[in-house]
Structure 1
Amino acid sequence: MTMAGQTINDRLLAARHSLAGQGLAKSVCKATTEECIGPKKKHLDYLVHCTNEPNVSIPHLANLLIERSQNANWVVVYKSLITTHHLMAYGNERFMQYLASSNSTFNLSSFLDKGTVQDGGMGVPGGRMGYDMSPFIRRYAKYLNEKSLSYRAMAFDFCKVKRGKEEGSLRSMNAEKLLKTLPVLQAQLDALLEFDCQSNDLSNGVINMSFMLLFRDLIRLFACYNDGIINLLEKYFDMNKKHARDALDLYKKFLVRMDRVGEFLKVAENVGIDKGDIPDLTKAPSSLLDALEQHLATLEGRKVSAANTPTQSSSSAFGTAAASSKFDTTNGIDEQLKAQVLAEEEAAMNQYKSKVSSPTSSGAAGASAALTNPFLSSPPAAQAGQPIVDLFGAASAQPAAAAAATKASDDLLQLGNPFADMFDASGGGAAAAGATGNAGDGTAKYDGGAGSSPFDWGATDDDGGAAQ
């Protein structure tokens, strides 16, 4: 075999088909020559045109390609798979329907081209190429078989369905059908990702063309996959226990596949594909998964392990509440869960407030705690009879006027002014009352962030704990 130009075998086979009047067979032969380049565009365009002609036998065309895939030469086999994939993507749907309905598949699970190694060896350029390309041929054939099986199961091609929020097929699918559809889509996506090539493997025009077709399918498959997951999450809080368990499992598998898709896209970027054609994958916040697991645990009657500290507990609670827009609904289970989260937060804050407002120390230690703790609205009783210390060395002023000038906005988090408390005058009860500021309960108000949506994939996970 020569690595450049058509071989004698190619020319003889084409002449034989011409003499026999087999124009379709000749076109297939031209598209799948032994020349180590991808199938030529003019031959692929002609075969696509043939799939739209009513007088062309689709079974005959498909069988010709399958027959060429049984050749011993890896280039012929690989190019027959590429031609088949191209017709699946751009040809008439009759071609896809035949492959899905017939038992004719690519039986290449054990394909291995040893001929080039035996003939050329390591010393000849391209002598080992057939041996190196054989694993990719086996994986590519497996993906095309899985693509046909997906069409057989769903009666549509995932790469050709409508996508998007308004008219997306998987975006508007009901929950029961969606739970049956997503595993089929995941199986096809897994078969594609198993191609698993690196940048240095794309060393010739044949594998490069197959990689471009796989990249095209991956972008469409993942867009469809993403629509299905968004629809699944929107319906998650209305599902029964069995469906919710299946949906959570599907979402966890989706997160794993996001990482694998990212690796595939990195290879695509390294080989020169325009960055504008490569989507930017942004993961959902981790609090979304926590909310889904907590809801399933509630349905199953399990207790969710609480955090050890009040701070961690409150962060987890508000992160969970902010992650789900379903907490705004009137669903009985969701409202119960929301009330439980709020009760845990209130209990944690009350416990923390009791610790800081009732120090156990007394005497000198209590006096020190009172002077340095801004959460104490008044000094301890042991300090009431002691003289006031002038911290700033200034002449005695009117404490009542100084205290009255203090505004609530000047107090940190409206918790009281510790310096105003220290300069409490013995006879200025009214002034002292004005100096304490707003020390009602010593707590800061938090915004749960319930308005955030778990489906804004590009948004970051807000803390949701801003003080007012």
Structure 2
Amino acid sequence: MSGQSITDRFAAAQHSMTGSAISKAVCKATTHEVSGPKKKHLDYLIHCTSEMNVSVPQLADTLFERTANSSWVVVFKALIATHHLMMYGNERLIQYLASRNTLFNLNNFLDKGALQGYDMSTFIRRYSRYLNEKAMSYRLVAVDFTKMKRGTDGVMRTMSTEKLIKTLPIIQNQLDALLDFQANPNELTNGVINAAFMLLFKDSIRLFAAYNEGVINLLEKYFDLKKGQCKEALDIYKKFLYRMTKLSEFLKVAETLVCFVGLYLLGHPQ
């Protein structure tokens, strides 16, 4: 039996009548059903980000509208859908998000009327702050750190000293916002928060890779730095070591979740 509420079905029917395929897909991706957004709806929205006849601002605004809902499930899934599109959609979506003066304003969000409402509202506030920081990073450097070319000839390994010193603190801020999600295994209790956590896990691996390569580049240049730059580089390196510890704790939680999902799938073959 479907977990969609009568409200979800009514909203989808309204969009069908008005001919708004994007609004209908967003509605279906952000139902009250306590599970992550369905892949088919996310895939359709990803496709839309590359269609020149689709208005990216309209798509983004439709997702923003869903975060005004009072239900933690709907709001959380709207954030997950947005994050998914930032990761896998056409770059023009994140360009648009980065161009906005404000993105998600959910610092005071609280769902008092639902099971798990208080707990999940905390994670919604943290998750929205990370997405805001991800968009801000793009706004500052015009690149998504999780998608940049890596390796010895990659962006961070070939970056100049001056640019490294400006860029690494931006990566630090984004990684801090990600690690501030701070979920432990006992709090990953449903398919919605698990879907969000898996996206954060994927971002953390790619973000840290860029961060690590930037620090390696900076250390290789260390003995050629000016006195003031040496102090900045040392400070960046100390902060890097601290974040390595925090990331290892985050990855332990991720490992637990991945093992749990694997065991679940073994016991529930498709």
**Match in the other structure for 2:141:** 154
The C-alpha deviation readout for 1:66-102, integer Å capped at 9, x for no partner, is: 1101100000000000000000000000000000011
State the match for 2:206 in structure 1: 220
- Which of 103, 110, 113 does residue 112 from structure 1 map onto? 110
Paired with 2:168 and 2:17, the residues of 1 have a C-alpha distance of 50
**Contact 1:163-1:224 at 8 Å conserved across structures:** yes
Q: CA deviation at 1:272?
A: 2.8
1:18 CA drift (Å)? 1.0
Question: What do the CA deviations read for 1:213-253 (whole angstroms, capped 9, x no partner)?
Answer: 00000000001111000000011110111100000000000
Partner of 1:192: 178
Alignment deviations for residues 424-460 of structure 1 (CA, whole Å, 9 cap, x no partner): xxxxxxxxxxxxxxxxxxxxxxxxxxxxxxxxxxxxx
Q: Say which structure is richer in helix.
A: 2
Instruction: Report the AA paired with residue 88 of structure 1.
Output: M
Partners of 2:209 and 2:21 in 1: how far apart?
A: 39
Q: Deviations over 1:39-81 (max 9, x none)?
A: 0000000000000100000000000001101100000000000
The residue type equivalent to 2:52 in the other structure is: P
Aligned residue for 1:267, secondary structure, equals helix
How many residues were matched structurally?
260
CA distance in 2, matches of 1:178, 1:241: 16
Superposition misfits of 4+ residues, deviation over 3 angstroms: none
Q: Is the 8 A contact 1:68 1:80 kept in 2?
A: yes
Is 2:167 aligned against 1:169?
no
CA distance in 2: counterparts of 1:35 and 1:103, whole angstroms: 32
Q: What amino acid sits opposite 1:141 in the alignment? A: S
Matches of 2:122 and 2:224, distance apart in 1: 45
Q: Which residue of 2 aligns with 1:54?
A: 52
The within-5 A match list for 1:271-350 is 271-273=257-259
Tell me if structure 2 keeps the 8 A contact 1:110–1:138.
Answer: yes
Alignment partners' CA distance in 1, 2:188 and 2:216 = 34
d(CA) in 1 for partners of 2:133 and 2:110? Answer: 21
Q: Secondary structure at the match of 2:85?
A: helix
What secondary structure is seen at the aligned counterpart in 2 of 1:271? helix
- Give the counterpart letter for 1:221 in structure 2: L
CA distance in 2, matches of 1:14, 1:220: 36
User: Which of residues 237, 248, 251 in structure 1 aligns to 2:237?
Assistant: 251
Structure 2: which amino acid aligns with 1:73? Answer: S
CA–CA distance in 2 between the matches of 1:179 and 1:104? 27
Quote the sequence identity (%).
63
Instruction: State how far apart, in whole Å, the 1-side matches of 2:124 and 2:164 are.
Output: 32
Contact in 2 for aligned 1:4/1:36 (Cα 8 Å): no
Query: Cα distance, 1:273 vs. partner?
Result: 4.7
Q: Partner of 1:103: helix, strand, or coil?
A: coil
* 1:143 to 2:130 alignment: yes
Q: CA deviation at 1:104?
A: 3.8
Aligned to 2:91: 93
Q: Tell me the secondary structure at the aligned position of residue 221 of structure 2.
A: helix
Query: Per-residue displacement from partner, 1:86-132 (whole Å, max 9, x unpaired)?
Result: 0000000000000001124100001110011xxxxxxxxxx2x1111
Structure 1: stretches of 5+ with no match in the other structure: 117-126, 275-468
- Paired with 2:98 and 2:66, the residues of 1 have a C-alpha distance of 19
Displacement after TM superposition at 1:264 (Å): 0.5
CA apart distance, 1:256 = 0.3
Question: Following the alignment from structure 2 to structure 1, what is the Cα–Cα distance between the partners of residues 12 and 101?
Answer: 28
2:77 is aligned with 1:79: yes
**Which amino acid in 2 is paired with 1:97?**
Q
Give the Cα–Cα distance (whole angstroms) in 2 for the partners of residues 250 and 258 of structure 1: 12
Greater RCO (Cα-Cα under 8 Å, separation 6 or more): 2
1:266 counterpart = 2:247? no
Tell me by how many angstroms 1:157 deviates: 0.2
TM-score by length of 1: 0.55
Shift of 1:22: 1.2
Displacement of 1:5 in angstroms is 1.1
Q: How many angstroms does 1:270 deviate by? A: 1.6
Aligned position for 1:357: none
User: Which one has the largest radius of gyration?
Assistant: 1
- In the alignment, the residues of structure 1 paired with residue 237 and residue 221 of structure 2 have an alpha-carbon distance, to the nearest angstrom, of 13
CA distance in 2, matches of 1:195, 1:273: 20
Distance in 1, matches of 2:18 and 2:183, equals 41
Q: Distance in 2 between matches of 1:114 and 1:80?
A: 19
